[in-house]
Amino acid sequence: MTKPFLIALIAGAVALTLAAILLAPPIMNAAPTEEAPGLMTDEPVWETPLVGLGWGAVVDPYELWYDYPPVVQKGKKYLPTTMSFYQGKEYRGRWNKCRLSIRQAESSNVYGAKSGTGFYKGAYQFSDKFAVGMGWVIQKSMREQGAPKEQAVQIGAELRATPAHRWGAFWQDWGFWTGWDDGKGKHHWPNTRRHSSCP
């Protein structure tokens, strides 16, 4: 082996070693630092574990949740639109005129309405007991429509814990359609139904 070849070989080895050191990813320090404020608490980075989708891909499970509006509605409560905000599987277009008559008679189209006694709430004047029941039924319906279990349980619990007049219009409309049950639940609105376009 010649001297120039030996020098070239050593120089190449040194160059490769330096390149490996310079291009290596930084070693992560597990201890919290000012450079990593997210690690300053004992809170986990994710509230639930990340999940794999087959090919080794890891996905935040919250990205798999359906895009529902917030349960609690802030801002404008008078919404006289004729369109139902909910148009899922319980919705029946043939009953929409009836729904509008009931909503007008019950609350004058005010989703934040409360009765004088405070017993009935929202655009359709749900009692607290009725609203809790609709929270359970909506949770079940969400699961049947493919929403992840965790999301359905979370939204169902929030609906049951929130007075109906604070529900967003989407959720109040869903509650109406669920309670109306294609006409089988019309007994829930016996007084206003008699003075409406409902049968």
Average pLDDT over residues 59-68: 69
pLDDT at 42: 43
pLDDT band (50, 70, 90) for residue 191: confident
CB 91 within 8 A of CB 177: yes
Nearest to 73 by CA among 153, 159, 185: 159
How far apart are alpha carbons 6 and 11 in whole angstroms? 9
Neighbours of 28 (CB within 10 A): 7
- The larger pLDDT score, comparing residue 59 to residue 139, is at 139
pLDDT at 33: 44
Helical packing angle, 169-180 and 128-144, nearest 10°: 90
pLDDT in tens, 142-159: 999 999 999 999 999 999
How far apart are alpha carbons 61 and 121 in whole angstroms? 35
- What are the contacts of 186-194 at 24+ separation with CB within 8 A? 188/130, 189/102, 189/106, 189/124, 192/101, 192/102, 192/105, 192/106, 193/98, 193/101, 193/102
pLDDT at 29: 46
Considering only the C-alpha atoms of the chain, give the largest distance between any 2 of them, rounded to a whole number of Å.
Answer: 108
pLDDT in tens, 171-186: 999 999 999 999 999 9
**13: pLDDT strictly greater than 60:** yes
C-alpha distances (whole Å) from 123 to each of 90, 115, 180 are 18, 10, 14
pLDDT in tens, 69-114: 999 988 778 999 999 999 999 999 999 999 999 999 999 999 999 9
How far apart are alpha carbons 187 and 78 in whole angstroms? 25
Helical packing angle, 169-180 and 96-107, nearest 10°: 120
**The two structure tokens encoding residue 100:** 């509008």
Angle at 52 between CA 51 and CA 54, to 5 degrees: 155
- The larger pLDDT score, comparing residue 62 to residue 8, is at 8
Per-residue burial over 165-179, b if 16 or more Cβ lie within 10 Å, else e, is bbbbbbbbbbbbbbb
**The two structure tokens encoding residue 87:** 């148009």
Which backbone phi and psi does 59 adopt, to 5 degrees? -130, 140
